[in-house]
Structure 1
Amino acid sequence: MSTETQLKERLLQTDGEFQQLAAKHHDLDSRLATLIGQPHLSAPEELEKGSLKKRKLQIKDQMEQILRRSRTITGSGLDPGVASAAGG
Structure 2
Amino acid sequence: MEINEDLLEKLIKENHEFKKIHDQHSKLKSRVEELNKLKLITPEQEIEKKKHQKEKLILKDRMGEIVNQHQSS
Superposition deviation, residue 37 in structure 1:
0.7
Deviations 1:25-77 (A, max 9, x none): 0110111111111001111111111111110000000000000000001xxxx
* Structure 2 gaps, min length 5: none
* Structure 1 gaps, min length 5: 74-88
Q: Relative contact order, CA 8 A, sep 6+: which one is greater?
A: 2
Count of aligned pairs between the two proteins: 71
Mapping of 1:1-88 within 5 angstroms? 4-73=4-73
TM-score w.r.t. structure 1 length? 0.77
Identity of aligned residues (%): 28
**What's the C-alpha RMSD, in Å, of the aligned pairs?**
1.1
> Match of 2:16, as an amino acid?
G
Question: Aligned to 2:4, what secondary structure does the other structure show?
Answer: helix
